[in-house]
Amino acid sequence: MAEPSPASFPAARPRRLRRTAALRRLAAQVDVRPADLVQPLFVKEGISEPVPVASMPGVAQHTRDSLRKAAAEAAEAGVGGLILFGIPAAKDDRGSAADDPDGIVQAALRDLRAEVGARLVVMADLCLCEYTDHGHCGVLTPGRDVDNDATLERYQAIAVAQARAGAHVVAPSGMMDGQVAAIRQALDGAGFADVAICAYAVKYASGFYGPFRDAAEGAPRFGDRASYQQDPARREEALREVMLDVAEGADIVMVKPALPYLDIVGMVARQASVPVAAYQVSGEYAMIEAAAAAGWLDRDRVIGETLTAIKRAGAGIILTYWATEVARRLA
């Protein structure tokens, strides 16, 4: 009998390491851990029961009480952190409620710090869109443009209010130029040199934020965010944003959204000298929940696969509305 030719009997058999679960586990390079996950939570002023968010099944706007409960569950599951978004009862053109020491976010931050602050990282989203009556992420010029530098002064006041209320980390998401430097300066000046900044460094103007605007009630009343968020058709600009934010003092840089921007996550992770986070946003969540509800996708499997993909691309920290659920499953 002739020797088998290498062509019909290949020596290289990648399938060898896929044969059993134990071999696959041994060969695996990417592992999503509960501590990598950050749970976004919404708290709303003036409600007596949690209000479900229609476009995000499983997500609710919390009361202060139900927020504490959700935070305790997240801590119990071992998630790495929480990020809080507040929805005030009253809005105005400068977003006054955002830095009100008695406002809903500051009250809820004090609750969270007391309830779970020793077990996980309490982060505060720092923006104006939930607090302004026009829904933009900054204050406006008379011509209704977003006024970059006037907005920075508002961000400084908000950062100090959030730090005073107990935030370990503030996360500016408004995409104003110079926001990290301005906030760092304000925090240091007010005696909060230890409060870290997780910069939404790379934030694309995305349709995937649609459901979030129901959850946080911060949709712009006119125009859109394309003059301050990034253009999806650009790539290397993401590195410029990251370099600026790190130079300005960002402790963590974030890329957002996650799954449609994995190329950007990968590029940033290869360059950044600080931890990289990715935000699996509301539209990514809604898309999978809707397809799963229709019976078109295996929900749990796809959730796990997306988180693995985001981690594999290079994000060490993942903000996801499934954080508590997935952390429980991993435990």
Least Å from the CB of residue 125 to ligand PBG = 6
**Does 256 participate in catalysis according to the annotation?**
yes
**Position among 45, 99, 100, 125 found at the interface with ligand PBG (CB under 6 A):** 125
Number of residues that bind ligand PBG (CB under 6 A): 12
Among 127, 186, 288, 310, binds ligand PBG (CB under 6 A): 127
Examine residue 281 and tell whether it contacts ligand PBG (CB under 6 A): yes
Strand partners, 126: 172
- Minimum distance between the CB of residue 26 and ligand PBG, rounded to whole angstroms? 36
Tokens of residue 179, six digits: 């926001």
Q: If we measure between CA atoms, which residue out of 27, 124, 121 comes closest to residue 85?
A: 124
* Binding window for ligand PBG (CB under 6 A); candidates: 69-77, 105-113, 124-132, 160-168: 124-132
Residue 212 makes contact with ligand PBG by CB under 6 A: yes
Among 131, 192, 204, 209, binds ligand PBG (CB under 6 A): 209
Interface with ligand PBG includes 173 (CB under 6 A)? yes
Active site residue 311: no
Q: Can residue 201 be called a binding residue for ligand PBG (CB under 6 A)?
A: no
Q: Is 282 in the site for ligand PBG (CB under 6 A)?
A: yes
By CB under 6 A, is residue 151 in contact with ligand PBG? no
The residue number with the shortest CB distance to ligand PBG is 212
Name the minimum Å distance from CB 151 to ligand PBG.
12
For residue 79, the minimal CB distance to ligand PBG (Å) is 16
Residues 220-239 that bind ligand PBG (CB under 6 A): 225
Contact region with ligand PBG (CB under 6 A), list: 4-12, 17-25, 122-130, 239-247:
122-130
Would you please indicate which residues are annotated as catalytic (active-site) residues? Answer: 203, 256
Binding residues vs ligand PBG (CB under 6 A) = 125, 127, 129, 137, 173-174, 209, 212, 218, 225, 281-282
